[in-house]
Amino acid sequence: MHKTMLLPIFVLMLLVSSGSRAADLQKVATIMLNQPSEVADAKRLNDAIDAMSLKVNECVKNNTTKPDECHCLYPKEKSNLEEIYRTTLRKHPGWRDKVIFWQREDSYSYNLSLEGLSRSLQLTCPTHPSSGTLR
């Protein structure tokens, strides 16, 4: 195939994939949180995500293991995040697979994709065949 034909094909593929992502984003409902109890639950979940993220970012920065396996090194933080996530969804089942939005009094705002979090929590960890532990 000629080089002059590759660029238009690439641009067309990019436009098609961008359009489908935009359509997918429009399907995700955003829930605006206004009640103090809802905001507190969202903040608790966000704090657990931050705690896990700090550990994973440190692992990636230090090249401790493969970046896509860093979450496996922190089972306590991951377990805590999973428990807070499950508790949050039991209290707010309508939040499942949604984006939640809230704003602090100083106008700083947060968006949290529970669909994205759900996918992240489903990541598995490689195990060593003989011991069942991380390589």
User: Domain for residue 22, yes or no?
Assistant: no
Query: Does any domain span residue 74?
Result: yes
One DSSP character per residue, the chain reads: --HHHHHHHHHHHHHHHHHHHHHHHHHS-EEE--SHHHHHHHHHHHHHHHHHHHHHHHHHHTT-S-GGGGGGG-HHHHHHHHHHHHHHHHH-GGGTT-EEEEE-TTS-EEEEEHHHHHHHHT------TTTSS--
CB-hemisphere CA count at 13 Å for 24? 9
pLDDT single digits (tens) 94-133 = 999 999 999 988 889 999 999 999 999 998 888 644 334 4
In a domain, 16, yes or no: no
pLDDT digits (tens, 9 = 90+) for 57-95: 999 999 998 888 999 999 999 999 999 999 999 999 999
- Whether this prediction's pTM lies above 0.85 is answered by no
Q: Look at residue 12 and tell me if it is in a domain.
A: no
Residue 119 lies in a domain: yes
9 in a domain, yes or no?
Answer: no
Domain that holds residue 113: 30-135
Structural domain includes residue 2? no
Q: How many domains does the chain divide into?
A: 1
